[in-house]
Amino acid sequence: MLKKRRAIMLAHNYQPPEIQDVADLCGDSLELSIRAAKTDAEVIVFCGVHFMAETASILSPDKTVLLPRHDAGCLMADMITAEGLAAKIASLPPMPVVTYVNSTADVKALSTICCTSANVVDVANSLDAPEMLMTPDRNLAMYAAARTGKKIHVWDGYCPTHEWLKPDDVQAAREAHPGAVFMAHPECRPEILELADEIASTSGMIRHAQASDAKAFIVGTELGLLHPLKKACPDKQFYPASEKMICKNMKKISLADIIRSLENMEGEVKVPEDIRQPALKAVQRMVDLST
């Protein structure tokens, strides 16, 4: 079916194992954005959440981007609107706006540049400005502020899946698995990042586990990442920092949804041109910095 439609299937590292196992590419948000920008396929089947399919549509307007479940959203992306951001911008002196890709296209359209968890520090440092507004993830913004020395105005959004992780969970996991390396995603709270041995995007964690001499790891991100970690390092042990770290939206798409979506060309995500053009500037600036 993928061949018949000249389609490529992209899957985020949090997707269910059976989806990751048949995808053409699994990756973090940055890798998926770069691949969406480069592919010559006619159709992109995006197995992830809505903002990821929108980002693919922003970068590849001539392709058909399918999201097999239209209700696969992102709770963090829903914590900011274009109207709210416009009001915030108006309340501040002029400064760049850095927006996490976990946001809607109309929010990106008001932004100077986008970032992902993999490149947020490089993006902030690339701006010739001592001060900036960073949206919508307050944890990612605080993480960037601590590593760049820039004054970062914070939007009060967060990812509930990562926000749930508490120091007690980390302590319990460390006691259960003495000596294991604790890896945390920058969407976690600052007090969790302080406890981390390694802070990285989802694919960054896979690379770290592969390169490390350590044999056991506590994983401070959504549970879906355990599958690619175990595949990449079959001789190593991976333990969740908390069994509660599940994003329901990342688990909505099934193989049957993908087949139906491709058969009927259902679930197209297309960003209107008046939003796509300004959003593209912010996304492309990030992609150019990271390729």
Question: Which of ligand SF4, ligand 13P, none interacts with 249 (beta carbon under 5 to 8 A by kind)?
Answer: ligand SF4
* CB proximity list for 260: less than 8 A, separation 6 or greater: 68, 266
From 2-10, 26-34, 105-113, 211-219, span contacting ligand 13P (CB under 6 A): 26-34
Question: Which of ligand SF4, ligand 13P, none interacts with 75 (beta carbon under 5 to 8 A by kind)?
Answer: ligand SF4
Q: Does 283 bind ligand SF4 (CB under 6 A)?
A: no
According to CB under 6 A, which residues from 187 to 226 bind ligand SF4? Answer: 222
C-alpha dist (Å) from residue 78 to 63, 137, 281 = 25, 11, 22
Q: Which of 104, 135, 202, 261 binds ligand 13P (CB under 6 A)?
A: 202
According to CB under 6 A, which residues from 151 to 190 bind ligand SF4? Answer: 159, 161
From 28-36, 63-71, 238-246, 278-286, span contacting ligand 13P (CB under 6 A): 28-36
Quote the CA–CA distance of 287 and 115 in Å, as a whole number. 9
3 state SS for 62-125: CCEEECCCCCCCCCCHHHCCHHHHHHHHHHCCCCCEEEECCCCHHHHCCCCEEECCCCHHHHHH
Q: Does 102 bind ligand 13P (CB under 6 A)?
A: yes
Quote the CA–CA distance of 168 and 178 in Å, as a whole number. 15
Decide the pairing of beta strands 43-47 and 7-12.
Answer: parallel
Q: How far is the CB of 42 from ligand SF4 (least distance, A)?
A: 26
> 76 or 275, CB closer to ligand SF4?
76
Q: Does 246 bind ligand SF4 (CB under 6 A)?
A: no
Contacts 24+ apart (CB under 8 A), 79-83: 79/136, 79/155, 79/156, 79/157, 79/158, 80/104, 80/107, 80/135, 80/136, 80/155, 80/157, 81/106, 81/107, 82/106, 82/107, 82/109, 82/110
Q: Does 28 bind ligand 13P (CB under 6 A)?
A: yes
How many positions of this chain bind ligand SF4 (CB under 6 A)? 11
Residues forming beta bridges with residue 217, ordered by sequence position: 181, 238
Q: Does 80 bind ligand SF4 (CB under 6 A)?
A: no
Q: Does 29 bind ligand 13P (CB under 6 A)?
A: yes
> 80 or 247, CB closer to ligand SF4?
247
- The CA R_g of the chain, rounded to the nearest whole Å, is 19
Q: How far is the CB of 78 from ligand 13P (least distance, A)?
A: 12
> 41 or 106, CB closer to ligand SF4?
106
Q: How far is the CB of 30 from ligand SF4 (least distance, A)?
A: 14
> What does the DSSP 8-state code read for residue 157?
B
Decide the pairing of beta strands 113-115 and 198-199.
Answer: unpaired
Q: Does 250 bind ligand SF4 (CB under 6 A)?
A: yes
Catalog residues that contact ligand 13P under the rule CB under 6 A: 13, 28-30, 102, 116-118, 159, 185, 187, 201-202
